Structure 1
Amino acid sequence: MVTVYAACALLCFAPLLVVSDPPVLTQPEQVHLSYPGVPGSMVVTWTTFNRTDSLVEYSPWGDILFHKSAKGSVTPFVDSGNEKRKMFIHRVTLSDLKPGSHYVYHCGSDMGWSDMFWFRPIDETIIQPAFALYGDLGNENPQSLARLQKETQLGILDAILHIGTVGIISQDNARVGDEFMRQIQSIAAYVPYMTCPGNHESAYNFSNYRNRFSMPGRTESLWYSWNIGPIHIISLSTEVYFYLEFGQELLFRQYDWLKQDLEEANRPENRAARPWIITMGHRPMYCSDDDQDDCTTFDSFVGGPDRCFPSPGVDVELWAHEHTYERLWPVYGDKVFNGSVAEPYTNPKAPVHIITGSAGCKEKTDRFNPNPKDWSAFRSTDYGYTHMQVVNHTHLYLGQVSDDQAGKTIDSIWIIKDKHGYDAWF
């Protein structure tokens, strides 16, 4: 009889046993860093699902924990899906950070604090900045994520460049975006996570992308530039050429901005301080994938015979979108301009293009055209990502890491330039 009563009691309480607690809507999540382009500064961005204060408590490594604090802003964001899910995006800028120091921090409010994270401020005078580069990393099949987590924990990266298709963040009423941002917190809360928009961010006029990320400038993270060590990095939106239903104004605004930015970066005093100019944009000018994408056509929207991007003096152009890795010979106007037969990347007469879109997503990897053009130098369908490090004013390293081959570097080059700028091309 006791057993029967006990069983009845368990059945009565069964609904309480299987229903989990509701999420803490004031708890910070999706924490990520970005560099605002101002020396000694860092932006911390995170999400809650109820409105709270926006605070970051931080301190230099080894000091009294969290003895500094900074307050920021909170912006409500309503996803445009049919559920109209609402979230709150918090942004706090930390200033007067000392180059070379490490800082520990957490973010939130007295209604909930994040885990404790650490970071090293961006130092614009850093001599040898190191990056991980990739695009098309998704919340499903994020093949490269574990290896990137380890490299982040080892402290070998100064920044990560995510070159578009940032987790298909608008899907399922932005729940996929929430999940993806939670996944990349394991890397993006420790190093600046610098992004550009891709085709999978296009829903509702890129609203999820524009609200979730905090890049430099005042263009809602669509295009911008920043400096680190001897590099001037330009981030572009290739999508302004494809989503004209959102208006052609963005296309012309970006072109005018880019032209002015390149003119400023090429001024002799700026080129002497930052000789390397590197661009990143989602859809490539050139590619040899077998999928009829824009980059497979000579008159592509992004490149085209007249080069839609004014790129005189650009050294390296980084792309993604194609779920492969492809390294090109120095190319301009669909023609190869190697430095020499023996040393093609020594004093090349055109930019070096790298396509790195195989970090891992649910669409898996692409196939290559069996008959590539002369500008295609190396191709791989392995999952992976790219390392880039500028060693000095004349030497830049690029290497492709294969996650399929346990982190092996399957391709690498040194770009050596004794001269940068317009004159280097002639």
Structure 2
Amino acid sequence: MAPVVYLFFLFCGLMPLALCVPSIGSQPEQVHISYPGVRGSMVITWTTFNETDSMVEYNLWGGKLFTQTAKGNSAVFVDEGPEMRKMYIHRVTLSDLRSGATYVYHCGSEAGWSDLFFFTALNESTSFSPKFALFGDMGNENPQSLARLQKETQAGMYDVILHIGDFAYDMHEDNGRIGDEFMKQIESIAAYVPYMTCPGNHEWAYNFSHYRSRFTMPGQTENLWYSWNIGSAHVISFSTEVYFYLDYGLDLLFKQYKWLKSDLEEANKPENRAVRPWIITMAHRPMYCSDDDNDDCTKFESYVRLGRNDTKPPAPGLEDLFYQHGVDLELWAHEHTYERLWPVYGYKVYNGSTDEPYVNPKAPVHIITGSAGCREKHDGFIPKPRDWSAFRSTDYGYTRMHLINSTHIYLEQVSDDQSGKVIDSFTLVKDVHGPEAWL
């Protein structure tokens, strides 16, 4: 035995075992990427538990490894649980990426590097036809859909993942360790395609601090609300939770509403709607649903849809705002089910026609997809569907969306309970976009 190794074991024999385990606090983990809303860019985000440099080494697929280097910075995040655990959230923005090109990368520092990952830079063309996986309510425990999503993502089936609120169940638990474990679980999809998010009610703890700190979305609102463009769509992400956690600031509700109104007005300018005709929203708690869980849709008229009259001043709802600005498709989660609605506004169905309800409908289409899998299991439905409810399922699963072109979007629901079977599908066809589509 070499003298140095002998001395190491002799020293360890005299010391507590924990002191002889090499520190891995400088090792990157929880790697995920997101689109920052800037052409030719991608943000790489990861975590360490020691303070280190923030670097990404990358290159075009098929080229010599690590020919380019980008540097960023880190921010200290302290979980507010009893241990006050501290971590470092690193962010590096890669710029001047070639539209639609694939890159290989790893992240970290000379104190430790991540595994090797790859991603495809966002195709900036308005004729790009992206494919999405979308879901909400996926936890660290019982994430039933995750294995299928891992395989499909790494097989190149998706260009973007949309996680529509409720992560980990819950990120703050066990002094933030559940959040760490969940972020490591999703690394196998989120390190390969942009993982775009919105907050849900399970992110409430410490004023949504885990959600605001762990992700990196476009804009300057700590990921609470933002918008971005992809292909022929303008995508808006926002927080339904501003209607419920008023102790964290009623002003957030009004700030978000003002921002939504401004963003929708900008998106509806003729020159903008001409190139991005689709407007798609994503947020956690739905305006409509037919679950029997005594929650938002059965306990009271939806705050998100109608607003609140118990605040000063009264808080405006969003259904009229979205209708007036011609929002085409609204994506929701929160209910641990899948539900497809007929085109609906004000509880009334406005199908395009009896035979083709989703061809030129006269109201927005809503999809609820909150059945990815979590420890709270399934929700149930009320026995009799509402008039506006077209299809519903309690199977674990997720939704696929294909933005085909400026007039067609295809959506389908995958049942993980049925080994990946597509249990529902439809194509939304719009020859006219904007408020005039309702006429």
8 A contact 2:100–2:124 mirrored in 1: no
8 A contact 1:231–1:274 mirrored in 2: yes
The aligned counterpart of 2:45 is 45
The aligned counterpart of 1:194 is 196
The aligned counterpart of 2:339 is 326
The aligned counterpart of 2:327 is 314
Q: Deviations over 1:284-321 (max 9, x none)?
A: 00000001211235622111288435102001000000
The aligned counterpart of 2:28 is 28
2:266 is matched by which residue type in structure 1? E
> Which consecutive residues of structure 1, in runs of 5 or more, have no partner in the other structure?
1-11
The aligned counterpart of 2:369 is 356
Q: Which whole-Å CA distance do the structure 2 matches of 1:173 and 1:223 have between them?
A: 26
The aligned counterpart of 1:421 is 434
Q: Which whole-Å CA distance do the structure 2 matches of 1:292 and 1:347 have between them?
A: 34
Match of 1:207 among 206, 209, 215: 209
1:48 is matched by which residue type in structure 2? T
> Which consecutive residues of structure 2, in runs of 5 or more, have no partner in the other structure?
1-11, 308-315
The aligned counterpart of 1:89 is 89
8 A contact 1:286–1:296 mirrored in 2: no
SS for the counterpart of 2:260 is helix
Q: Which whole-Å CA distance do the structure 1 matches of 2:20 and 2:215 have between them?
A: 31
2:370 is matched by which residue type in structure 1? G
Report the Cα offset of residue 22 of structure 1: 5.3
The aligned counterpart of 1:54 is 54
Q: Which whole-Å CA distance do the structure 1 matches of 2:183 and 2:23 have between them?
A: 16
Where in structure 2 are the equivalents of 1:5-404 lying within 5 Å?
21=21, 23-125=23-125, 127-167=128-168, 168-296=170-298, 299-304=301-306, 307-309=317-319, 310-311=321-322, 312-404=325-417
8 A contact 1:39–1:123 mirrored in 2: no
Give the percent of matched residue pairs that are identical in Structure 1 and Structure 2: 69
Q: Which whole-Å CA distance do the structure 2 matches of 1:364 and 1:131 have between them?
A: 24
Q: Which whole-Å CA distance do the structure 2 matches of 1:103 and 1:275 have between them?
A: 30
SS for the counterpart of 2:398 is strand
User: Relative to structure 2, which stretch is displaced further, 90-99 or 297-306?
Assistant: 297-306
Q: TM-score, normalised by structure 1?
A: 0.95
Q: Which whole-Å CA distance do the structure 1 matches of 2:76 and 2:23 have between them?
A: 18
SS for the counterpart of 2:304 is coil
Q: 1:62 to 1:290 in 2, by over 3 A?
A: same
2:142 is matched by which residue type in structure 1? N
1:36 is matched by which residue type in structure 2? P
Q: 1:20 to 1:347 in 2, by over 3 A?
A: farther
1:308 is matched by which residue type in structure 2? L
The aligned counterpart of 2:6 is none
8 A contact 2:61–2:104 mirrored in 1: yes
Report the Cα offset of residue 127 of structure 1: 1.9
C-alpha RMSD over aligned residues: 1.8
8 A contact 1:307–1:333 mirrored in 2: no
Q: Deviations over 1:8-46 (max 9, x none)?
A: xxxx96997899835500000000000000111000000
Q: Deviations over 1:172-213 (max 9, x none)?
A: 111000000000000000000000000000100000100000
Q: How many residues in Structure 1 have an aligned counterpart in Structure 2?
A: 416
